[in-house]
Amino acid sequence: MCGIAGIIHTEGLKPVDPDRVRRMCDAIAHRGPDGEGVWTAPGVGLGHRRLSIIDLAGSPQPMIAAEGDAVIVFNGEIYNFRDLRKELQALGATFRTDGDTEVILQAWRQWGVDCLPRLHGMFAFALHDLRQRTTLLVRDRFGVKPLFTARLADGAVIFGSELKALLAHPSLRREIDPLAVEDYLAWGYVPDHRSILKGVEKLPAGHYQLLRPDAPPPAPVQWWDVSFADREKGKADDLGAHLLHHMREAVTSRMLADVPLGAFLSGGVDSSSVVALMAEASTTPVKTCSIGFDVAALDETAYADRIAAQFHTQHWKRTVSPEDFSLVDRLAGMFDEPFADASALPTFRVCELAREHVTVALSGDGADEAFAGYRRQAFQHREEQARSLLPAALRKPLFGGLGRVWPKADWAPRPLRAKTTLLSLAGDGEEGYARALAVTSADLRDTLYSPDFKRLRGDYRAEQPFVDMMRRAPARSGLDRAQYADLKFYMPGDILTKVDRTSMAVSLEAREPLLDHRLVEFGARLPEGLRVKGTTGKWLVKDTMRRYLPEDVLFRPKMGFVTPIAQWLRGPLAEEARGLAASGALARTGWFDSARIDALADAHISGRSDHSRLIWQLLMLRKSLDRLG
């Protein structure tokens, strides 16, 4: 796990200042405290910060191929590198190191871009081929590892693992993209198709870009996608056996490390499953870490303690108190872009705890997206079944009319929000799912914006790219399309961004075995009835793990990391909430209706209503804009 940065000229072989590349790398030094390096040649400069995980002393970067014709900077892990190494050796390749970085170099030399589907792992890398004078930028299948890019006025392309690496380049313009603000307020994060700064892009997951010194940057090329178009056949027991095989392979392949390794343990199905399979494969006690809360309704540590005891792990836990709001400013600095998923605070705390004992930690992320573990997916499945019973010509006037007059109940769980359900049933499945996933509705967003911002935004609405993605999905059903969008839109924008930034802030490598692409591809082919059964999501995963885990762990309601932001915004953060619209960059933009925001803040602080989610979004937006200048 590392941080990478660089400069690539696309209008001639101009010299690159190595000190400039070094400063870009220094901005992300937290991602790699164990080593650094810069390599330059006419038209290109590559920089690297290293967190040593495999071949600790023998794989410095930037790494030049033994033949001297290619050089790479690489962030991530290739879990099948030993098998690839044997295959390449049989084809005549020679190796000077024992790590995975050199395997990528030789795989490129042997197969070109066709090497990418052979790489099993999480990665973002830049590889410069001196023979062809090309630079390949690549991002892994799911976007576990980030890669930001921007084209400067002089034709150079700069890239980095985090936005702060690009911000270290003096020629980068710091102009806020108002469409990214619309996206952020809808979703609580800036999705991968956009950046908070105009001109900055994120290389999409499962894509590569091949840059040349004599041509403008081409559009990224997709090299992998997940398909829900096919179905596995067979009995549930047989498919469960196949599922367990894939899960075992995914977990054991990610236990390879030359440094201390452990796991996050929440006591939920996914992290408990990972720990169970780690314990099965390990000859020594697994190291596990948990975070608890001093609010009983939010605390899951009793379940984590049970799993730790059952599998005899070496277990550490820490309690987070309501005073943890002091992390808010530090959190804004970790993400650069505005990020409003409040579970980032406890995620950072569990990463901080894990780093005291291990350098690599396995997580349970990805299973909900891949196997339909979210309640919203089960609701979508049922709503799609209901939609199929009535033609749109009847649904729209019937449910739409009822939905418009029904009172709002945003405070209630989704099954009890009749207004939301009725409006969802009135539209098509894609629009309904986008409405369910949005954290701030289009109608509410419109009340926040000033006339100037509405002119800047024009006809654009944040939900449209999400709806378009669902409609284009290689899928058979509404459930398929919902899962596809969760995997391709929500997961890289929210979940993987959260884990990457909070783990790398403390120089911890987080690995997601349940995002092994072969496991996810298998899950995408499962019949719907083995993903969702009644109101139970992730059904085959839970049924398969009965041999390892107790029933009340497998089938208890999903909790996730919850933070008491409503209380914070009525207590220690109340003054910040009151001043949101009147100070800082949020006020200077002139994009918001300050009276409307003041009224929402006053209503929340007084206890008349709960606007904590929206106020938290606006607070994190202000802090991000203040930092970006």
- 480 annotated as a binding-site residue: no
Catalytic residue among 2, 25, 115, 289: 2
Question: What is the rounded distance in angstroms from the CA atom of residue 57 to the CA atom of residue 55?
Answer: 6
Residue 41's CB is within 10 A of a number of other CB atoms, namely 14
Residue 619 CA to chain centroid, in angstroms? 21
Is 2 one of the annotated active-site residues of the chain? yes
- 364 annotated as a binding-site residue: yes
476: nearest Cα among 534, 537, 527: 527
Cβ-proximal residues to 604 (8 Å cutoff; 6+ apart), any chain? 566, 569, 570, 577, 610, 611, 612, 615
- 305 annotated as a binding-site residue: no
Q: Are 548 and 273 in contact (CB under 8 A)?
A: yes
Residue 312's CB is within 10 A of a number of other CB atoms, namely 10
Cβ-proximal residues to 222 (8 Å cutoff; 6+ apart), any chain? 204, 206, 207
Q: Which helix (H) or strand (E) holds 74?
A: strand 70-78
Q: Are strands 314-320 and 287-293 parallel, antiparallel or unpaired?
A: parallel
Cβ-proximal residues to 512 (8 Å cutoff; 6+ apart), any chain? 122, 144, 362, 363, 364, 365, 366, 496, 499
- Per DSSP, the residues of 149-217 read EEE-TTSEEEEESSHHHHHTSTT----B-HHHHHHHHHHSS--TT--SBTTEEEPPTTEEEEE-TTSPP
Cβ-proximal residues to 561 (8 Å cutoff; 6+ apart), any chain? 266, 291, 343, 345, 346, 347
- 4 annotated as a binding-site residue: no
Residue 126 C-beta-side C-alpha neighbours within 13 Å: 33
**Which parts are annotated binding residues?**
100, 291, 363-364
State the catalytic residues: 2
**Which parts are annotated binding residues for ATP?**
291, 363-364
**Which parts are annotated binding residues for L-glutamine?**
100
